[in-house]
Every structure is written in structure tokens, then in C-alpha cells.
Chain A
């Protein structure tokens, strides 16, 4: 029996959008794949040029492929010693891909699970400005 949550979560066909939820904190909504990784990378370029931690909230990310994983690896490397990349609360399907590929062990990159977030108290995130990458 197919899990109805798949459709309820908008698994299929959701283009990637970005919500800025705070200073250097962005929520990704939709699917991150070969077609959306490049515009997202261009969008993040200006943030990666600045020092300090960068947080990507993955709670709304319903799909990720290898192009998205490489984007994260590249972003963590680009920040270098000037800050780290935090990936916040990936949902189960995305977390599985992250764990399978060992992304959670990449230098300068931290994956914060929902359990970790509850313990650490990341605080509420409030959408500020929607950004359409299409």
C-alpha cells in the first residue's frame, strides 16, 4: 500500500523555492535536483562570500539527488574556516540519502536532526521573503 503521506507532502512535481527565515538562514521547499541545483547555487553565491555560519532548513525539501548533495559539499568547502554549513531537520527520505552518502561526515558541515533541534532549541523560524528560483 502506498504511503498517502507521499502525496500529502507534495512529493511530486514541486519546484524548488526558498524562504529566508532569518539572517543567513533559508528554508528550501520542493525538490532539489540537477535542474534546480544550479539556480540555487547561484542564489547562495553571495551568502557564501560572507563569513559566518549558513543554515539551510530542509524540513520542506521533499527530494534530493546527487547534484543537490554536491551543492551542499561545495557550499561547506566554500565557507572554509569562515563559517560552517548547517542542514536543519531533513525529513526521513532526505536524511536517508544524506546518511547513505556520508554527507553528514563532511568537514565543515553539520546535519541537525529534528531530535537534535528539539534538544538544542533552534527556535521558531518565520518566513520573510519567498524567492522563486524557477
Chain B
């Protein structure tokens, strides 16, 4: 269930969004008092999720939602697309950075999950959690 007061941003699906994505996350992390290493880890993980959306889905937008929990920070990365090739996200053979994205997301977060959009149920949701301790 989405909370109306949760900070969120809607970006066009374009590589030029990354500085804005990082600025948004940095601002939220600063306000939340998240540590510098945790902030950098989370920013990288979220950027990888956005990059995967750009590489593998046809979606006009990417939405970020920032959720502050007592012990953790949770970021949702959502698009409106379907995976052009469902297995592509796990393919390590592409030259533009695909293949390292998911391992980096796993390594940089404490919890990670992905629901791939399909033609029947469009919209991919990536959930990234970083503990605040």
C-alpha cells in the first residue's frame, strides 16, 4: 500500500536522469541520517535498478519511492513496462553493463527483490532495503 506522504519522484526513461536520481536519494539519505557508506551503496543499487529498467523494458517512466522505516530505508523502483526478454536481466554477456547490475544490487543492499513485468501483468518492481545500523 502506497503512503501519500512518502517522498517519490517520477522520471522519464532516459539515461540523463541519473544525476537527478542520485541527488534525490542523497537528499533523502541526508535527511534520514543514513551513513555515508550506506548512502553510497544504496545510490549505486538504485541506479542499477534504473539502468536495468532502461536496458530491458519499454516503459515511459521510472518511479522512485523512498520509505523510511525505524531500522531501515526502503526504495522502490517501479516502471510500467514488460521485459523485452525475460531472461535478459540475468544475462552476463551484454557489453553495456548488463550482467553486473543484479550482483551489484544484491551486494550493496541488505534486502533485494524483483518482480518482473510481463505482458499480462506489466510493470516491474524492484525493492531495495538498506539497514540503518
Contact = CB atoms under 8 A, between A and B. Distances in A.
Interface string B76-98: 00000000000000000001111
B47 A33 contact: yes
Interface in B75-133: 95-101, 103-104, 107-108
B22 A2 contact: no
B69 interface: no
Contact of B44 (A35, A74, A97): A97
A67 B51 CA distance: 9
A11 interface: yes
B29 interface: yes
Contacts, number: 90
Interface residues of B, number: 33
Contact of B97 (A15, A66, A96): A66
Chain A contact residues, majority secondary structure: helix
B15 A66 contact: no
A94 to B, nearest CB: 10
Interface string A3-22: 10110000111110000000
Interface residues of A, number: 28
B70 interface: no
A12 B97 contact: no
Contacts of A28: none
A31 B100 contact: no
Contacts of B96: 34, 37, 67, 70
B56 to A, nearest CB: 12
A65 interface: yes
Chain B binding surface, main DSSP class = helix
A61 B9 CA distance: 26
A7 to B, nearest CB: 8
B74 interface: no
Interface centre among B47, B100, B104 (most CB of A within 10 A): B100
A69 B96 CA distance: 9
A129 interface: no
A63 B22 contact: yes
A32 to B, nearest CB: 10
Interface of A: 1-3, 5-6, 11-15, 31, 33-35, 37, 63, 65-70, 74, 93, 96-97, 100-101
28 contacts: A1-B33, A6-B36, A11-B26, A12-B23, A12-B26, A13-B22, A33-B15, A33-B51, A34-B18, A34-B54, A34-B97, A35-B16, A35-B18, A37-B96, A63-B22, A65-B44, A65-B51, A66-B48, A66-B98, A66-B101, A67-B97, A69-B100, A70-B96, A70-B99, A74-B95, A100-B104, A101-B100, A101-B103
